[in-house]
Amino acid sequence: MAEAQESLGPEETARRVEALLAQARWHLERGEWPLARQRLSELLAAAPHDAPGLKALAEVEYQTGKYGEALRAYHDVLRWHPEDTEALHGRALAEVALGDYPGAASSLRQILKLKPGDPETQLYLGDVLLMMGQRGEAREAWLRAGQAAGPDGDVASKATRRLELYPPSNQ
């Protein structure tokens, strides 16, 4: 099979990668993790730096509780695509799952450099800062999230709720 892969031209390889990604996503939607992982392994053998394939593999690893493997897959994406905000977000989730809150905060801050003021990222940054014991900074992030989200919407209501649950330390 590997020899057949090497003989494919660029267009055929691109079509194969696209087909394998579609198959993997189909299995992902159904929670068929081993089958998704198999298709993604085939995809990455043909295109080792394919960002969608690497992110899908990271998702499989995360969903199956293999947070260290997920973190490695997100690092692989970011090695080739350093401004991929989806990979940065996934890396932050894996870092939280592993208890690496400073790493998660760093990943979220990287997203904010690329997408300044993003309300959802501000909300998550506040959550991570709270986990790190930085209540005041967490509140500031939630305030920014609520302001950026506007008065309506899910992020605004979540930010408001967090601010209610965690009043300033001097109260």
Give residue-wise pLDDT tens across range 15-70: 999 999 999 999 999 999 999 999 999 999 999 999 999 999 999 999 999 999 99
Choose the CATH number for 1-99 among 1.25.40.10, 1.20.140.10, 1.10.260.40, 3.40.720.10: 1.25.40.10
Helix boundaries (H) for 47-134: 51-63, 67-80, 85-97, 101-114, 119-131
Tokens describing residue 129: 């800062």
Range with the lowest mean pLDDT among 51-60, 142-151, 162-171?
162-171
pLDDT at site 86: 96
Sequence-ordered list of residues with C-beta below 8 angstroms from that of 53, at least 6 positions apart, any chain: 17, 20, 21, 24, 40, 43, 44, 47
Rounded to two decimals, the pTM is: 0.86
For the chain, domain boundaries: 1-99, 117-171
The pLDDT of residue 134 is above 90: yes
